[in-house]
Amino acid sequence: MPALPTINFTHSGVFCSDLDRMVDFYCRVLGFIVSDKGVASTGHRLFFMTQNPELHHQVVLFDGKPVDLPFNPINQLSFLLNSLDDLKAYYQFAKKSGIEGIAQVDHGNAWSIYFKDPEGNPVEMYVDTPFYTAQPCKEPLDLELPTEVILAQTEAMCRRRPEFQTRAQWMDSIRTKIEEQRVRIV
């Protein structure tokens, strides 16, 4: 069996009971900037936050954490792979390993697979695309297709959506926002 692709831990998602307060804290006290925001398919408001122009988000904050019930606040643990071919290889490995319920998602700015670990925590394996589109974005993905076809489908989808940019253009705009945030904090 070939070696598994290298994975890098990059971000986590956390459910919050007071989302606005948490967003304020992460921005004002920890120096993050909001890189995107919206409403998830579950109906939860969410904020993507980063301090790194190469990472769309390092933290995702969701509303919906109950204040009076035991609740796992982890929305997901996310691991970055080096290439789409690595994601395709990991997808094949996960299928052969008997992992059930693997979801494939095209986020426009990333291609992802999702599954649960043995204790039910959501895990995301993903790779960045060369494009940016406003988040959240959740379109079908078929990792059985050739890499060139997936790339062309994603680019076409992103160009149809508002705020299309290349990843490089988006990183430049986020770099500027991060620098402005740092000036405000100091």
- Taking 3-state DSSP, the helix, strand and coil percentages for the chain, each rounded to the nearest 5, stand at 30, 30, 40
Query: Distance between CA atoms of 135 and 8, rounded to whole angstroms?
Result: 22
Retrieve residue 143's tokens. 């990792």
**Residues 16-70: tens digit of each pLDDT:** 988 999 998 888 877 889 999 999 988 999 999 998 999 999 999 999 888 888 8
Report yes or no: 124 and 78 within 8 Å, Cβ to Cβ.
yes
Amino acid at 107: H
Question: What domains can you pick out in the chain, each with its CATH number?
Answer: 8-185 (3.10.180.10)
pLDDT at 185 over 70: no
Residue 143 phi, psi dihedral angles, 5° rounding: -75, 0
- pTM of the complete model: 0.79
Retrieve residue 174's tokens. 């986020």
**Residues 98-130: tens digit of each pLDDT:** 888 999 999 999 999 998 886 677 889 999 999
